């Protein structure tokens, strides 16, 4: 299990083979920075859809996922969200032979990286706005696709 998932207080936590559809929600962390909160944490979930949601002020990251290998029934997507002022990352995803769609999100003022994809996750990263983050997008050890993203310091 990844260290980034074990010491955080999540708004939403998903564990082995669970599914969730988060739509039009507000997931606010500790703006005083006293507690390491995370918006959404997923460890080997079955299915995740996060849409039209505001995720704000999380020291531990906005969306932090460790995905299982993809198969025909899985669906992992992060679409049209506003992820603001998160410290660790706006979106951090790891996994082996996993697939993910990250589309139409506004990721603003994350003090580490806007989007970080590592360890064999094949992500389609499309039409996102990444503004005033320390780093825009990091893709490490995988074959993700980036199409029409706006990245600005």
pLDDT in tens, 95-109: 989 999 999 999 999
pLDDT in tens, 8-51: 689 999 999 999 999 999 999 988 888 899 999 999 999 999 99
Task: Give percent of the chain with pLDDT exceeding 70.
Answer: 95
CA distance 39 to 5: 12
Residues paired with 124 in a beta bridge = 101, 145
The reported pLDDT for the residue numbered 71 is 82
Q: What is the mean pLDDT of residues 57-63?
A: 95
The reported pLDDT for the residue numbered 1 is 42
pTM over 0.85: yes
Distance of CA 136 to the CA centre of its chain: 13
Q: What is the mean pLDDT of residues 114-122?
A: 94
Q: Report yes or no: 40 and 22 within 8 Å, Cβ to Cβ.
A: yes
Please give the C-alpha separations between residue 60 and each of 16, 46, 94, 142, in angstroms, as whole numbers. Answer: 20, 22, 15, 23
Q: Report yes or no: 27 and 37 within 8 Å, Cβ to Cβ.
A: no
């Amino acid at each position: 299990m990844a260290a980034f998932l074990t010491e955080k207080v999540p708004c939403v936590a998903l564990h082995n083979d669970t599914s969730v559809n988060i739509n039009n929600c507000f997931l606010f962390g500790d703006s005083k920075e006293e507690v390491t909160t995370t918006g959404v944490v997923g460890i080997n979930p079955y299915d995740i859809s996060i849409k039209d949601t505001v995720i704000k002020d999380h020291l531990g990251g906005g969306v932090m996922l460790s995905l299982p290998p993809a198969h025909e029934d899985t669906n992992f997507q992060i679409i049209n969200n506003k992820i603001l002022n998160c410290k660790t990352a706006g979106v951090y995803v790891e996994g082996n032979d996993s697939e993910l769609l990250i589309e139409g999100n506004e990721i603003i003022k994350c003090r580490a990286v806007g989007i970080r994809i590592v360890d064999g996750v094949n992500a389609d990263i499309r039409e996102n706005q990444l503004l005033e983050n320390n780093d825009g997008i990091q893709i490490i050890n995988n074959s993700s696709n980036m199409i029409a993203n706006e990245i600005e310091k």
